[in-house]
Amino acid sequence: MRKEMPRIDLDRANLSPWERRIAEGIVNSRTGRLRASKPPVKHTDLGLDPEDPNGFRHLYQTDGGETAYVWRMVAFAVSPRSQHQCLPVMAQYDLPGRVDEARDLARDLDRIADKVVDTVDVREWHGIARWSRALGYG
C-alpha cells in the first residue's frame, strides 16, 4: 500500500503573490496534498547562444520550470516515495536562463520550498528523516 503524500497548507506559508502562484502548482487541487508527480515543463529551443564562445550551447525558453523546481525540492524533503528522495542534482535544468541566472533563481525558489516544507507536519518529513538516518543523525 502506498503512503499518501503529505498535506500542504499554503495559507500557513506566508507567501508573496509571486511565490503563491508558483507554489499552487505543486498541490493537488482535489486533495490538498503534494502532487504525486512533477508538474509539466515546456522547453522551447531558441537557437544557439550568441554569447557562447564555443558556439554550441543553445538557449531555451522554459515554461513551468519554477514550479517543477519547487515541487522537486519539496518532494525530496517530504515525499514518502523513495524515488523522490534521491538527490535532486538535475532540478536546476528546468529553470530558465543561463547557468548563473538559473542558480540565482534557484536560491529564491529554495526559500519558497522551505516555506512550504515548514507547513508540513514534521512527522511527514519522510525524505529528511531518511537522509538523517543515512548520515547517522537519526
pLDDT in tens, 45-88: 778 888 878 877 777 778 899 999 999 999 999 999 999 999 99
Number of domains in the chain: 1
Residue 5 forms part of a structural domain: no
Residue 75 forms part of a structural domain: yes
Alpha-carbon distance 98 to 86, whole Å?
A: 25
Residue 102 forms part of a structural domain: yes
Contact at 8 Å (CB) between 120 and 8? yes
Better pLDDT: 133 or 55: 133
Nearest in space to 2 (alpha carbons), one of 68, 75, 71, 82 = 82
How many CA within 13 A on the CB side of residue 29?
Answer: 3
Its domain, for residue 52, covers 10-134
pLDDT (0 to 100) of residue 10: 96
Residue 1 forms part of a structural domain: no
Residue 43: is its pLDDT beyond 80? yes
pLDDT (0 to 100) of residue 3: 85
Residue 63 forms part of a structural domain: yes
Residue 1: is its pLDDT beyond 60? no
Residue 123: is its pLDDT beyond 90? yes
Alpha-carbon distance 129 to 138, whole Å?
A: 7
